[in-house]
Structures are given as C-alpha cells and as structure tokens.
A = this chain, B = another copy of it.
C-alpha cells in the first residue's frame, strides 16, 4: 500500500534562493519511507525477523523548486524487485497544483541482523510485504 505524507516548507528548509536544499529533500524522502514502512507494518516485522534494511543507491531528479509556504506531498511505493534488491519510488508534488517537484528511486538491500549477510528477496519477503507480489 502506497503511503503519503505532507510537509509544509519552512524558511529553515530552504536555501538562499528560497529553494529547498538538495540534502533536505533526502530527509523528506527518508520521512516518507519510514511512514511507508509503518503504514505497511514492516518496521515491526523486520525487527521480529532480524532483517535490517540498508539504502545502497538513491537516484533523485529535481524538477521544480518547492518554495517557502508550499505544502508538498510525498508518495512512496515499491517499483521494482531484484534478486537481492527492492527499489522504492518516491514522488514529490505540490499539494496545491499537483505539479511535480522531485522524484527518487531508492534501492535497498536487506541484511540478516545476526551475520550481516545480504538476503535474497524470497518467499518470506513476499509474505511479509504484500506490495512486493505485485511488481517484478
């Protein structure tokens, strides 16, 4: 299940051009992913199963600057699974106009908390994480 958060852009989010700074977007995205994991009950399941997720790649497009006072929405879902990776898609857009602000593809691997080995995205994952069943 996709999740969605809203953030009102403040002066302290933005740089001298009144744009949200590049690094700050990554914090917004991280907030979006935590919310996704919570909404899908995955934080507790991963903890219980001894699964630790690690971001290995972020590919972010900056499209249209968000300005102070704007409310932005961040929608987070899964877009792709590999043998040992899951890639999430995060889309940021203006709540008011719907105009796209940024998007990011965030690729994760999953480690066994005990031995640090990278886990295969196998049946166990598909059982824990229903969204994974609907993508390739």
Contact = CB atoms under 8 A, between A and B. Distances in A.
Interface string A92-106: 000000000000000
Of residues A16, A17, A22, A60, which shows the largest number of chain B Cβ atoms within 10 Å of its Cβ?
Answer: A16
Contacts of A41: none
Contacts of A62: 54-58
Give the interface residue-count category, chain A: 20 to 34
Interface in A87-123: none
Contacts of A39: none
B10 A31 contact: yes
A30 B16 CA distance: 14
Given A14-B16, A16-B16, A30 B26 contact: no
17 contacts: A10-B31, A10-B34, A11-B15, A11-B17, A12-B21, A12-B22, A12-B23, A12-B30, A15-B15, A16-B16, A16-B17, A22-B58, A23-B30, A54-B62, A56-B63, A57-B60, A59-B60
Nearest to A19: B16
B68 A57 contact: no
